[in-house]
Amino acid sequence: MEQHNDALAVAERFEAALNKGDADGVRAAYSPDAKIWHNFDDKYQTVEENIKTMHWLHTRLNDVKYDIQSRIAIPGGFLQQHILRGMLTSGKPFALHACAICKVENGRISELKEYLDTAQARPLYE
């Protein structure tokens, strides 16, 4: 049970850092050699590449918020369904539905696999 609580606590710290665009907080939530994978390109990112993506996202969106729809502890980590919300620089609301499966080892995320529909991300590139 304690391992499940630890994974959920890691998830909460990670979410808070992402919402703020806090690179140090995101870095602290990840293991230094963590792997981050997305379904749309089937490639792994490093922690630093993922942080660059987060910074880019915060240049495209104001009021970034990961709206957690469901988060459960699973053996070795957590699973969550979320909606990335924010306001585009044009002033229009943005929402991107996603699911993430995270492995947690020694109190940090060692692997994150995120599934999303790139069609919903299109407004970020306009």
The domains located in the chain, with CATH, are: 2-125 (3.10.450.50)
Predicted local confidence at residue 3, as pLDDT: 58
Look-up: residue for tokens 């009021």?
A: 63
> How large is the average pLDDT for residues 6-14?
96
Task: Answer whether residue 54 shows pLDDT above 50.
Answer: yes
What are the tens digits of pLDDT across the range 83-113? Answer: 999 999 999 999 999 999 999 999 999 999 9
Residue 2 has pLDDT above 80, yes or no: no
DSSP β-bridge partners for residue 99: 81, 115
Distances (CA, A) of 116 to 37, 90, 99, 100: 11, 23, 7, 9
**Is residue 4 scored above 90 in pLDDT?**
no
